[in-house]
Structure 1
Amino acid sequence: MTFVLRLLKICAALLLLFWGGGLLLFRFVDPPVTPLMVIRAVERNAWIGYAPVRLVDVAAALPRAVIASEDGRFCLHHGIDLGAVQEALEDYGETGRLRGASTITMQVARNLLLWPGGGFVRKAIEAPLALALDAFWPKRRIMEVYLNIAEMGPGLFGAGASAQAYFNRPAGRLSETQAARLAAILPAPTRWNATAPTAYVERRTGTILRRMDQLGPAQLGCLG
Structure 2
Amino acid sequence: MVGKIEKILCALLRFFLPINVRSIKGALWFLISRFSVFFLTLIIFFSIVPVPYSAYMIEKKVTSLWDNKTYNIQYQWVNLENIAWQMQMAAIASEDQRFKEHYGIDFNAIQSALNHNQQSQKIRGASTISQQMVKNLFLWSDRSWIRKAMEIPLTFGVEAIWDKRRILEVYLNIAEFGNGIFGVEAASLRFFKKHANQLNIKEATLLAASLPNPHIFKVNKPGKIMRKKQRWIIKQIRNLGATEYLNQLK
**Structure 1 length normalisation: TM-score?**
0.90
- Contact 2:59–2:140 (CA under 8 A) maintained in structure 1: no
Structure (1 or 2) with the larger CA radius of gyration? 2
147-156 or 114-123: which moved more? 114-123
Q: Which has the higher contact order (CA 8 A, sep 6+)?
A: 1
Task: Measure, in 2, the Cα distance between the counterparts of 1:134 and 1:213.
Answer: 26
Unaligned residue ranges in structure 2 (runs of 5+): 1-20
- C-alpha distance after superposition, 1:176-222 (max 9, x if no partner): 00000010000111222212211111111111111111112774333
Displacement, 1:31?
1.6
SS of the residue aligned with 2:248? Answer: helix
1:79 alignment partner, one of 94, 104, 107: 104
Unaligned residue ranges in structure 1 (runs of 5+): none
In structure 1, the residue matched to 2:74 is 49
- Contact 2:73–2:182 (CA under 8 A) maintained in structure 1: yes
In structure 2, the residue matched to 1:39 is 59
1:102-181 map, 5 Å: 102-181=127-206
Displacement, 1:100?
1.0
In structure 1, the residue matched to 2:236 is 211
Name the amino acid aligned to 1:61: Q
2:213 alignment partner, one of 181, 188, 201: 188
Q: How many residues align?
A: 224
- Contact 1:167–1:195 (CA under 8 A) maintained in structure 2: no
- Contact 1:75–1:218 (CA under 8 A) maintained in structure 2: no
In structure 2, the residue matched to 1:221 is 247
- Contact 1:65–1:179 (CA under 8 A) maintained in structure 2: yes
SS of the residue aligned with 1:24? Answer: helix
CA RMSD, aligned part only? 2.3
- Contact 2:75–2:185 (CA under 8 A) maintained in structure 1: yes
Task: Measure, in 2, the Cα distance between the counterparts of 1:61 and 1:21.
Answer: 33
Task: Measure, in 1, the Cα distance between the counterparts of 2:223 and 2:86.
Answer: 22
- C-alpha distance after superposition, 1:14-65 (max 9, x if no partner): 4222211111000001121111101222325333111010000011100100
**1:196–1:91 Cα change, 3 Å:** closer
Task: Measure, in 2, the Cα distance between the counterparts of 1:174 and 1:68.
Answer: 16
**1:59–1:115 Cα change, 3 Å:** same
**Structure 2 length normalisation: TM-score?**
0.81
